[in-house]
Amino acid sequence: MHLRDLELPTNQSVIIGIRAVDGVGNLGPVQTTKIKLAGPGPQLILPAPPPIPTANPKDNLPTLGDFRIFIIDPLDKVDPINGTILPVHDENYRLANHLWSAANRQIQLFTAQNETVAFQVVIHGKTEGLRASVSFAGKNISTPQPEILSFHYVTGKNGRLLPDPLVPFDKPLKIPFADERLTNQTHAAFIVDIHIPKTAHPGSHTGELTITTKDDTLTLNIALNVWNFTLPDTLSFIPQMNGYGRVPEPDYELAYYRQAQRHRTCLNILPYGWTGRISDQRAPQWDGDNFAWKAYDRRFGPLLDGSAFADLPRGPIPVEAFYLPLNENWPINIHQAFTEGYWIEDALRPEYRKDFITATRKFAEHLQSKGWNQTMFEFYLNNKISHKQNRWQGSSAPWIFDEPVNTQDFWALRWYGQAFHEGVGKIRQSTKLLFRCDISRPQWQRDLLDGILDVNVVGGAYRRYQRLVLDRRLRWGEVTYTYGSPNRIEQSNLQPAGWCIETWCHGLDGVVPWQTLGKPRSWTGADQNALFYPGAAIGRPGPLPSIRLKAFRRGQQDVEYLTILSTASGISRRDVSKMILKNLHLEGEFLQKTTVDAGQVSFQNLSPVALWRLRTAVGCYLNERSVPEPAS
């Protein structure tokens, strides 16, 4: 018996009592003993973060023509009509903050190698023909690589216009925009992303942000401080960007995966629908005996061997996770095999299981033969019998596979997991073929999936049953994510970053926003789930990022800092996490409209300044130590 999570004081004596209980509830006498608790483990003391410039109310913002300019955190959100900032800051924030000093006209950034840092430039006033550029001294492979993107605005609640999608800043900026919704616009903003190559020299770098109009030019200095450690190419914590069916611009499918990889996330698109039919030809043809692999390999091979990403900052790293097309109705037809009964052994003809195992084995053998051994291939059942409620043909599932409820549902998942593992056999020793389930009620799971489940994607209930979920992860070696929704457009953009950090602190391996692919209509009405916007809808074909996708990148990079910190300091992840949760006041509140809603986490006490202080304190600590190069 283990007594855990009691938060007892260290280095003190406590009395432990225990009594026996028999099968009918009779209680034995209490036996007690006095024990001395161990002292505190190694203490982690981080240096102070770099000083934040202070504002003098007499300072003035730089001006150019009829407008003023200031710099804020990229995760701040600026209302284009009245200029209010979310989250709320003090009145001097525009004059001086953790990234900016108006008095010195300087932007100050701190970064590791192989990291992308960013800042937000806000324009207050009216202008036409504004352009911007960023440059750094030197033009070799080690020079920081800037990219500038401007905000597009979507309509949120009560008709309020808010920034979310980002487009390349390759056309002159005008305030107000040529948009009837923005006739009263007073503010506009753009984001500057700066990627620091792995070959960048540690130390101070100087750059310039140049803003021009037809008549004048303004230059702001950039002080870029590169620390002496490198973020790994391979993600230790995975923000998995879930999607369904197909990307909204099929001709640009590869570009969507590349956009995700650039932002240190992983796009994973489920290849079938509720009927089990394969969407958009995302599976090899099956003739009953063999698969035809040529078209499948040509389409997805570059994702699975990494060649699709060879020219991106992280290099040829394959996608971290990839759905298998296997499901209850493909490649084996469940309707022909189903007889009757609610327990799966009674409901399916024996040959169905045999054929499913055969197909699984052939799929596994092919993946192994291609040498695709870095990606986690996920066999996942997404469908529910409840989708038959309005139309019997609406689902191919005789049970609730996604977010199971009844014992028979869990038992059916167990049956499929066992069949999948039997088909994969020893191949999974060299190729990552994993059985995944999305569980919203871990307290009802009991031991039905023990030793069978490989990837456990848990809903918001994990917050209440955290010990149960973590025990399963530890005992059975499960990869464990939590799923939910990203923040709404009307909410703070700190949520994705806070969600990543808190989830890591709780001991999990990643987060899964349940839907991430926007639609053409996402460009007008605020779409909570649109982390990738289809550019064709505004005449810019291909995926365009939201600022919230960049917030997930910020969270993933911050987690890499903490992972490196734990290794370099010798302090356990658990102890590092306790310090982080306390110092950041990272107390996420799980919000759920209904019991079937995916829900989301809200962080009321989190600020961009607090995130910056944590990251830079960790960065200063690691910069003073010899941190091993990450494995490629």
By CB atoms closer than 10 A (0-12, 13-18, 19+), residue 430 is exposed
Q: Is the peptide bond before 176 cis (omega within 30 degrees of 0)?
A: yes
Confidence of residue 560 (pLDDT cuts 50, 70, 90): very high
Q: What's the average model confidence in pLDDT over 263-274?
A: 98
pLDDT at 536 over 80: yes
397-448 pLDDT tens trace = 999 999 999 999 999 999 999 999 999 999 999 999 999 999 999 999 999 9
61-81 pLDDT tens trace = 999 989 999 999 999 999 999
pLDDT at 141 over 80: no
Share of the chain above pLDDT 90, in %: 85
Please list, in sequence order, all residues whose beta carbon lies within 8 angstroms of the beta carbon of residue 12, skipping any fewer than 6 positions away. 36, 37
Confidence of residue 110 (pLDDT cuts 50, 70, 90): very high
**492, 550 contact by CB (below 8 A):** no
CA distances from 170 to 133, 149, 256, 521, 531 (A): 10, 8, 21, 23, 21
pLDDT at 197 over 90: yes
pLDDT at 489 over 80: yes
Share of the chain above pLDDT 70, in %: 99
Q: Work out the mean pLDDT of the chain and round it to a whole number.
A: 94
213-244 pLDDT tens trace = 988 999 999 999 999 999 999 999 999 999 99
Q: What's the average model confidence in pLDDT over 339-366?
A: 96
At residue 631, the pLDDT reads 65
- As a whole number of angstroms, the distance between CA 89 and CA 523 comes to 28
Confidence of residue 600 (pLDDT cuts 50, 70, 90): confident
Count the residues in the chain: 632
175-195 pLDDT tens trace = 998 888 899 999 999 999 999
Confidence of residue 2 (pLDDT cuts 50, 70, 90): confident
- As a whole number of angstroms, the distance between CA 101 and CA 120 comes to 13
- Opening angle at CA 66, ends 54 and 182, nearest 5: 100
pLDDT at 629 over 80: no
pLDDT at 139 over 70: no
- As a whole number of angstroms, the distance between CA 108 and CA 126 comes to 27
What's the pTM? Answer: 0.95
Residue type, 85: I
